[in-house]
Amino acid sequence: MRLRQGLRWLALAIVLCAAGYWLAAGANRGWTKTTRDRIEKDPITEITFPVRENHFSPGIDVVAGAFFVAGVLAISSLFASRKNNT
Amino acid sequence: MKATIAILGLALIAGGAISAPITFDFKDPKGVNNIVFKTDAPLESINGTGNGISGTVAFDPQNPAATAGKIVLQTSSLHVGNPMMKEHLHGGMWMDVKKYPEISFELGSLKNVKTAGDVTTADALGKLTMKGVTREITTPVKITFLKDKLKARSMKAGDLLVLRSSFTVKRSDYGINASQGEDKVSNDIEISLSVAGSAPRDS
């Protein structure tokens, strides 16, 4: 019983943490990015150009992965429950 | 009579020196020169950049229509924010950077040339080579001649030339993963080019 509940709480925590992290990091609806471009302007030529920076921006793949792991844990909890009951 | 011929000769030489084209080098140690590309497909919008630019352009301020030259982009400098996507972009199915290390545009001629002050706009006719395929394209171009501005940038006397252009190419025209459907990567690739070349001179 304790294992079943533990797995479910863990699944919920993973979903909430992943969703919260994704929202807090800017809710990037594309794929995860490890760099971002800061746009600067050359004062002489007036060319705008990207300056690359290392920056981790979780995308929907991170959220989907977290939901998948949470789903596996939640389903596992059902089997744990059966084992405990028999 | 001899004096008149000599004066005429000097005038022609002087005139030739003034109107001689200036050769600008587009290798850019500051990393300002760049291209931005965008594909907008129903399922996915992808933005990327490239900054490995080189090439030379000969520009005559007295005769902008005679502008000629070639701009080259190192294909390996193409970048997107997602590492796996970048790996695919550089791979054999897409840009195949090992086999085709350069994308180039060779300017053939300028049409519809309009000059106002230091700014010239025109339609540039030239050959775009991508992934081993060369095609004639016409693209609008804005050329800005910045006389004596190099010193402000690199402490050397000389001029700067800024080229800007935005155009669209079809990846299927260049054999860029033509079999890939257009739901994730559109066939149209929007490209914006912003580059500056320098022409130092002995002061």
Q: Which residues of A touch B84 (CB under 8 A)?
A: 31
* Total number of domains constituting chain A: 1
Per-residue pLDDT of B104-125, as tens digits, reads 999 999 999 999 999 999 999 9
Q: Does residue B201 have a pLDDT over 60?
A: yes
Give residue for tokens 């700067």.
B160
Q: Which of A46, A47, A55 to mutate to test the interface with B (most CBs of B within 10 A)?
A: A47
Q: Please report the number of interchain residue pairs, chain A to chain B, with beta-carbon separation below 8 angstroms.
A: 59
Task: Identify which has the larger pLDDT, B14 or A24.
Answer: A24
Task: Identify which has the larger pLDDT, B15 or B135.
Answer: B135
At A78 the pLDDT is 87
Q: Look up the domain containing A48 and give its range.
A: 3-78
Count CB neighbours of B83 within 10 A: 13
Q: What is the mean pLDDT of residues B43-49?
A: 90
Q: Is residue A84 part of a domain?
A: no
Per-residue pLDDT of A38-83, as tens digits, reads 999 999 999 999 999 999 999 999 999 999 999 999 999 888 755 5
What single letter denotes the amino acid at residue A86?
T
The two tokens of residue A48 are 């705008």
Q: Please, which pLDDT band fits residue B65 given cuts at 50, 70 and 90?
A: very high
Q: Please, which pLDDT band fits residue B15 given cuts at 50, 70 and 90?
A: very low
Host H or E run for residue A16: helix A2-24
The two tokens of residue B147 are 């006389």
Per-residue pLDDT of B168-178, as tens digits, reads 999 999 999 87
Q: Is A39 on the interface with B (CB under 8 A)?
A: no
Q: Is residue A42 part of a domain?
A: yes
Tell me if A45 and B85 make a contact (CB, 8 A cut-off).
no
The two tokens of residue B179 are 């079999």
Q: Is residue A57 part of a domain?
A: yes
Beta strands per DSSP E along chain B = 22-25, 34-40, 45-50, 53-59, 68-74, 102-116, 119-130, 133-146, 158-170, 188-200
Residues B53/B57/B62/B66 CA torsion (nearest 10 deg): -130
Rounded Cα–Cα distance for residues B186 and B86 (Å): 17
Per-residue pLDDT of B72-96, as tens digits, reads 999 999 999 999 999 999 999 999 9
Task: Identify which has the larger pLDDT, A81 or B62.
Answer: B62
Q: Does residue A85 have a pLDDT over 70?
A: no
Q: Please, which pLDDT band fits residue B179 given cuts at 50, 70 and 90?
A: confident
Q: Which of B24, B43, B47, B82 to mutate to test the interface with A (most CBs of A within 10 A)?
A: B82
Q: What is the mean pLDDT of residues B27-38?
A: 92
State ipTM: 0.81
Closest CA to A42 of B199, B33, B23, B78: B33
Gyration radius from chain B CA atoms: 20
Tell me if A45 and B79 make a contact (CB, 8 A cut-off).
no
Tell me if B34 and A47 make a contact (CB, 8 A cut-off).
yes
Q: What is the mean pLDDT of residues B172-197?
A: 90
Q: Is residue A86 part of a domain?
A: no
Q: Is residue A33 part of a domain?
A: yes
Distance to chain A for B3, nearest Cα, Å: 46
DSSP state of A2: H
Q: How far is CA B79 from CA A42, B3, B24, B46, B92, in A?
A: 21, 63, 26, 11, 16
Rounded Cα–Cα distance for residues B46 and B79 (Å): 11
CB B171 within 8 A of CB B133: no
